[in-house]
Structure 1
Amino acid sequence: MRSEVELASATHGIGEDASVDVGNRLRALREQRRMSIRALAEASGLAVNTLSLIENGRTSPSVSTLQRLAMTLQVPISAFFTPDVPQQRVVFTPAGQATATLFPHGALTDLAPGLANRTLEPLLLTLDPGAGSGPESIVHTGQEFVFGLSGNILYTVADHTYTIGPGDSLLFEAVLPHRWHNPGHAPAQALLVLCPLELPRSALERHGRV
């Protein structure tokens, strides 16, 4: 398994602007919830050894693994690669200053870090040839929108496969099992918008969920 340093070198120049340590973010999120690594393993269904390797930067998790951890910790997937920044009502990110998280042969870039109480998650997906979301299908709440930017990405949703090329779009209920990969010989990029995420706590309280 390749380290994040190796992955940073492998994916340099295909879309990410800056990277963060996913392992440190995972450890911080886990400790904020006062969960032991064993408790997180039991709740997520992942092995303790796998979590330990991720937290110590010795392996880079697939997107499907990140999504499983996000659901377990009740955070958006971007929480793993968005540094702690002041919450704002307006977010402007200049070109070249977005923050990405690296996974095997690809990257996810958060396009709106720091927006207070946001209910959508815009992400830039970059995939090396042959790269994908991981061996397991992804399932999460809300809806997912995909817009092709370059190359081709095969999106499989509930056993139906769609080829997403430049200008193509796809919208689906994210509770349907889905996965994706780049079948081509060149890098591919797409805009992902996940919406809605979990409601802000104030909204949950207004609806009687605490």
Structure 2
Amino acid sequence: MESKLEQPAELPKELIGSKIRYFRKNRGYTTEKLADLIGVSQSLISQIERGIAAPSLDTLWKLSYFLEVDVFSFFEEQEPEAVKIIRNGEHRKLQMSRPEVWYEMLTPNTGKKYKFFKMILQVTETQEQPLMFHSGEESGYMLQGSMEVTIGDQVYQINEGDSITFDSTSPHCFKNIGTIPAVGIWMMSQE
């Protein structure tokens, strides 16, 4: 017996477009800047936001990356909450490529221009730390322990109660130099 497949619902272009506009404005991007980032024309971004054109899957993927939102957020019908509380134990935990480094996200993934997170650096024997860099600025406040922050060719030591701010386009890395986990609250802005 052959079953008939139902036709899929039409792509909700207006909904997707309004979500993209919302997240773009929250990030502080112009349509021109966003178009440059993802490699499409400004007029295509404008058409997508107005619900006239449907974005390709590749374009949606790039939009979610540069707007820093989950690709599924473009399809959610409810408006983002004005106030978002993340309860104790519900924060997203991310382990980086280095097993001794953990991030606990303190802000939701809403496409805002900044992110707050708790960084936990476990005690490690590893001496070599890879340098990283990205757009924006970082600020951190040490809650516990001591860490070495390398920024370019300068090395800084920060301890419990210290804070640091730097341009994150400069190559940088972090290393626990104490005998207990180094824990800090960090803010990362996106430009």
Partner of 2:149: 155
Q: CA deviation at 1:131?
A: 7.5
Summarize the alignment of residues 35-50 of structure 1 with structure 2, pairs less than 5 Å apart: none
Which of these residues, 83, 87, 101, is aligned with residue 106 of structure 1?
101
2:93 corresponds to which letter in structure 1? A
Q: Does 1:95 find its partner at 2:120? A: no
Compared CA separation, residues 75 and 139, structure 1 to 2 (3 A): farther
- TM-score (structure 2 length as normaliser): 0.56
Contact 1:91 1:114 in 2 (8 A): no
SS at match of 1:74: helix
Segments of 5+ residues of structure 2 without an aligned counterpart are: 1-56
Which of these residues, 119, 127, 131, is aligned with residue 125 of structure 1?
119
SS at match of 1:101: strand
| Matched pairs, number | 125
Partner of 2:66: 74
User: What is the distance in 1 between the residues matched to 2:125 and 2:113?
Assistant: 28
SS at match of 2:84: coil
Partner of 1:136: 130
- TM-score (structure 1 length as normaliser): 0.51
Q: Deviations over 1:147-171 (max 9, x none)?
A: 1110111111121111121110111
Q: CA deviation at 1:191?
A: 1.0
Q: CA deviation at 1:176?
A: 1.0
Contact 1:107 1:126 in 2 (8 A): yes
Contact 1:106 1:131 in 2 (8 A): no
Runs of 4+ aligned structure 1 residues displaced above 4 Å come to 83-86
Segments of 5+ residues of structure 1 without an aligned counterpart are: 1-31, 35-69, 199-210
Higher relative contact order (CA 8 A, sep 6+): 1
Contact 1:105 1:131 in 2 (8 A): no
User: What is the distance in 1 between the residues matched to 2:125 and 2:184?
Assistant: 13
User: What is the distance in 2 between the residues matched to 1:131 and 1:113?
Assistant: 33
Q: Deviations over 1:108-150 (max 9, x none)?
A: 01101143x4111101101110278x74311111111011110
Sequence identity, in percent? Answer: 21
Structure with max Cα Rg: 2
RMSD of aligned Cα (Å) = 3.1
